[in-house]
Structure 1
Amino acid sequence: MNPSVRSSRRQFLGLSAALAAGCFVTSRPAFSASRSANEKLNIAVIGPGGRGHENLMGVSSENIVAIVDADFRRAAKAFELFPNARKFSDYRKLFDTPDFFDAVVVSTPDHTHAAPTSIAMKQGKHVYTEKPLTHSLFEARSLQETAAAAKVATQMGTQIHAGENYRRVVEIIRSGAIGPVTEVHVWVGKGWGGGELPQEFPPVPEGLDWNSWVGPAPFREFHPTYVPANWRRWWDFGNGTLGDMGCHYMDLPFWALGLKHPTKITAEGPALNLQTAPIGMTAEYEFPAVGSQPACKLKWYDGTMTPKEVRGRKVPGSGVLFVGSEGEMFADYGSYKLYPEEKFADFKPPAPTIPRSIGHHQEWIRACKTGEPTTCSFDYSGPLTETVLLGCLAYRMQKPIAWDAVNLKCPGTPEADAIINRPYREGWTL
């Protein structure tokens, strides 16, 4: 066995033991329920540009006391809106003086989600982290364990989870309206993939701390192909379309069916590129029966492999189709429909049982102040993220993989270990 793989395994076992003993949390939570729920949180925002701007505004009812971004050009609007916030380009510097903030929002590229999230929780800070929760499977599991030990409020940024339509779909599926569900199709007509390594390297633009942007990933020279958004194509930084959108659309069947860990994953797509994700792929997951939920297969499609029809029915560019013994249900962010239409013409949905959300960001803020649970805590979003990443792993292995969720291993596929637990660049740590 490769020495780095043995080290990774020891690291995982050591982490689990240390967390179980409670010795990874180095300070008490900065904001406790004993303080007034009307008292504002002091929040540090890491990555306020692009998608992160919505997260910044989502928590702007509180005190924004620090703004961290490796690219000050992207953070310029945030600096303007919150001129009194402390400014950092390297998130590690933020955590050198942790006493002035209570909670952290992480909206960086995927490869830098886990480290600041982990450090924050170990310092007793509440954390809101964008989807997918992490870039690697080991990171996802370690954040779940750290959150459980730290007992802080956590939320993954799957904002559509707070929408009314998702709640009604979950209630209908759970009511048994279409019978037990054994098959789900999930597709997104979007394509983050393709590209080749650049051969020329222009100067790093002023205002961009490139070393901090690369963070724990293997270092490479700056090129504009990576920023601000195309990093999603590159395996070192993102996980293609599945990594980008899987947590949003697979969230619905995960929630409705109570899914957790698949046991077998098969993926298909174009020839493997060692640098970039495919422009289109499919991934099929097999989930075991749990309680009243029978064994279930979930198939994902994206990019150039997005279907025009599913089970003989024309479908829009993105959506979810549940297949039950008594019917089928299509759903997307804002609508749902039951099939066969004639059978469900007079269908009346069950009385709502899932309360209306106060807002995805507000749920987390309330949890920070009161200790109430959030709907996308790391206990829920960790397994969801792991499942998304397993589809990418199966594609990169170019063969079906089995999954041992207890030990974070693909039995019979030792070469997967280097992706399950990627090495960190020296100077950066989880």
Structure 2
Amino acid sequence: MSTVNNSRRSFLKKSAVVATGISIVPRHVLGKGFTAPSDKLNIAVIGGGGKGRSDAMNAWNKGASHISAICDVDWNMSKDLMNKFPKAKKFRDYRRLFDEVQDIDAVTVSTPDHTHAIITLTAMQLGKHVYVQKPLTHNIHEARVLTEAANKYKSVTQMGNQGASSDGTKQLIKWFDQGVIGKVNTVEVWTNRPVWPQGIKSPLDKPKMIDGLAWDVWVGPAKMVDYHPLYHPFKWRGWWNFGTGALGDMGCHLIDPPFRVLGLGHPTEVESSVGAVFSSDWTADYLPDSCPPSSRTQLKFKATKKNPVDVKLTWSDGGIRPFHPDLIPADHSIGNKDSSNGVLMIGEKGIMTCGTYGQEPKVYLNSGELLTSSKRLFNNKLPESGHQIFWTEACKAGFGSKEHKSLTSSFDYAGPLTESLLIGNLAIRSYLEKTGNKFNGRKKLLWDRENLRVTNFNEANKFVSRKYREGWKLEI
């Protein structure tokens, strides 16, 4: 493993970066422990539209931090944020930003999944602290790289699965640690995603490019394709070239509570089945470029100190969800209020359930008793800003500080979580692969975490990492 580079740059020695026409100076060269005026963080925003806008506003925190620069390949998406911070320097290429704005303390990365790793690693190598939207990375190998890099470059990090910092998740942990539901061997997790097109054929037409869109930068390390509105600005999630499907989109939110509550490690095996659209009788469209319209995946975890029995965790998406447990009254929702997303942790003494971000936590005991949180959880509205405020305060306190160690989704946690849920995508993508008329990947996959590989179906291992487009490379 070594540094990120492209046709215009290569990193030399440790984290120093040099490129034709561009020279990025590492933070430590400017002065170790640089402090912004008035103890405010200087923050660069990379990806300022949609979720990126709220990430920026939460990090800014009504002026507690300073937005120094905004980078977006499509300024149409970021115009509201750019208008909010007219003095912030504006860029379409994050590499130019890092080259020209050198007094940055921290970076928010709210771009499509396929560019998370290269931008984040670049920032850490230049001495920046980083907040990255979920999922942490596009593939398992990238998650391992960023986890190792955060410690190497002493970067204060946080992934954007904001429910990790919610009172609901804390309540779930408290109940489980008190032994309220006993040992858990079955977990059900589900989502109504995708709420974008999936299981569709790749577009062949070539519509006019959006004015000012830096398409080459948007594609980044992925395989080059022509611009199409089925990719940008929102629908990229349904294409393996850029996104990670419903599991990648919502898994970091929904799998986080059981992962955290039960102290789960890495899965040892995984198996998937997927839905399909039939274009004619007996002819299913299993399209390897597009994520499937629905899927069901089972991950198996070994017993842990917190939960001394093996666990089967079943993920369902595309509107498929588990049936209503007998223990929960028929007129009660499971998961969210409309039961569209949720988690069930089924224990010896009862069932613990919650919504998307650990919200609305409840316990239905075998005795018939119902436990709910004693707190009004922000009127059921997630205190999303807190997750990022904790990060900005940790950035000020520094790597290894009490504030840093108390973060709920720094990369030492977010990396293994992302690895674990993306193992599900190994099975989903293998399911779609075929040789001739035979689908070879419809089998249980055995996982070797130490070596990052499937041991019983080598074809699946090509999805552990990806081949980067020429000129792009990811290395520590």
Fold shared per TM-score above 0.5: yes
Distance 2:327 2:468 in 1: 46
Q: Where does residue 286 of structure 1 map in the other structure? A: 300
Whether the 8 Å contact between 2:138 and 2:243 is mirrored in structure 1 is: yes
Q: Where does residue 176 of structure 1 map in the other structure? A: 179
Offset at residue 71 of structure 1 (A)? 0.8
Distance 2:374 2:44 in 1: 42
Which moved further from structure 2: 143-152 or 185-194?
185-194
Distance 2:77 2:372 in 1: 49
Secondary structure, aligned partner of 1:364: helix
Q: Where does residue 45 of structure 2 map in the other structure? A: 45
Q: Where does residue 359 of structure 1 map in the other structure? A: 386
**Of residues 124, 128, 132 in structure 2, which corresponds to 1:129?**
132
Distance 1:79 1:349, change over 3 A: closer
Letter of the structure 2 residue corresponding to residue 331 of structure 1:
C
Q: Where does residue 411 of structure 1 map in the other structure? A: 455
Q: Which aligned pairs between 1:250-261 and structure 2 lie closer than 5 A?
A: 250-261=255-266
Offset at residue 224 of structure 1 (A)? 1.0
Q: Where does residue 345 of structure 2 map in the other structure? A: 322
Q: Where does residue 337 of structure 1 map in the other structure? A: 362
Which moved further from structure 2: 91-100 or 232-241?
91-100
State the Cα deviation string for residues 303-347 of structure 1 (Å, max 9, x = none).
142335356755312111111112111112421222236443589
Offset at residue 289 of structure 1 (A)? 1.6
Secondary structure, aligned partner of 1:83: coil
Whether the 8 Å contact between 2:363 and 2:371 is mirrored in structure 1 is: no
Secondary structure, aligned partner of 2:303: coil
Q: Where does residue 7 of structure 1 map in the other structure? A: none
Structure 1 spans left out of the alignment, 5+ residues: 1-10, 16-22, 351-355
**Of residues 93, 97, 103 in structure 1, which corresponds to 2:96?**
93
**Of residues 138, 142, 165 in structure 2, which corresponds to 1:139?**
142
Which moved further from structure 2: 70-79 or 87-96?
87-96
- Number of residue-to-residue matches in the alignment: 406
Distance 1:49 1:303 in 2: 26
Q: Which aligned pairs between 1:197-236 and structure 2 lie closer than 5 A?
A: 197-236=202-241
Offset at residue 270 of structure 1 (A)? 2.2
Offset at residue 100 of structure 1 (A)? 2.1
Which moved further from structure 2: 174-183 or 114-123?
174-183
State the Cα deviation string for residues 377-424 of structure 1 (Å, max 9, x = none).
000011111112111111111222111111111112222232111011
State the Cα deviation string for residues 334-369 of structure 1 (Å, max 9, x = none).
21222236443589989xxxxx99810111101111
Q: Where does residue 247 of structure 1 map in the other structure? A: 252
Secondary structure, aligned partner of 2:221: coil
Q: Where does residue 115 of structure 2 map in the other structure? A: 112
Distance 1:312 1:267, change over 3 A: farther
Structure 2 spans left out of the alignment, 5+ residues: 4-12, 17-25, 277-285, 376-382, 432-442
Offset at residue 25 of structure 1 (A)? 4.1
Q: Where does residue 321 of structure 2 map in the other structure? A: 306
Distance 1:306 1:278, change over 3 A: farther
Secondary structure, aligned partner of 2:449: coil
Q: Where does residue 378 of structure 1 map in the other structure? A: 411
Distance 1:147 1:366 in 2: 17
Q: Where does residue 272 of structure 2 map in the other structure? A: 267
Q: Which aligned pairs between 1:415-426 and structure 2 lie closer than 5 A?
A: 415-426=459-470
Residue 369 (1) aligns with residue 396 (2): yes
State the Cα deviation string for residues 257-302 of structure 1 (Å, max 9, x = none).
1112111011111253211111111111111122242221111111
Offset at residue 175 of structure 1 (A)? 1.4
**Of residues 410, 423, 429 in structure 2, which corresponds to 1:390?**
423
Letter of the structure 1 residue corresponding to residue 456 of structure 2:
G
State the Cα deviation string for residues 187-232 of structure 1 (Å, max 9, x = none).
1122242221112101211021111111110000011111211100
Whether the 8 Å contact between 1:104 and 1:125 is mirrored in structure 2 is: yes
Distance 1:90 1:357, change over 3 A: closer
Distance 1:167 1:59 in 2: 23
Whether the 8 Å contact between 2:171 and 2:373 is mirrored in structure 1 is: no
Whether the 8 Å contact between 1:31 and 1:368 is mirrored in structure 2 is: no
Distance 1:31 1:324 in 2: 53
Letter of the structure 1 residue corresponding to residue 389 of structure 2:
Q
Residue 161 (1) aligns with residue 164 (2): yes
Whether the 8 Å contact between 1:279 and 1:304 is mirrored in structure 2 is: no
Whether the 8 Å contact between 1:154 and 1:378 is mirrored in structure 2 is: yes
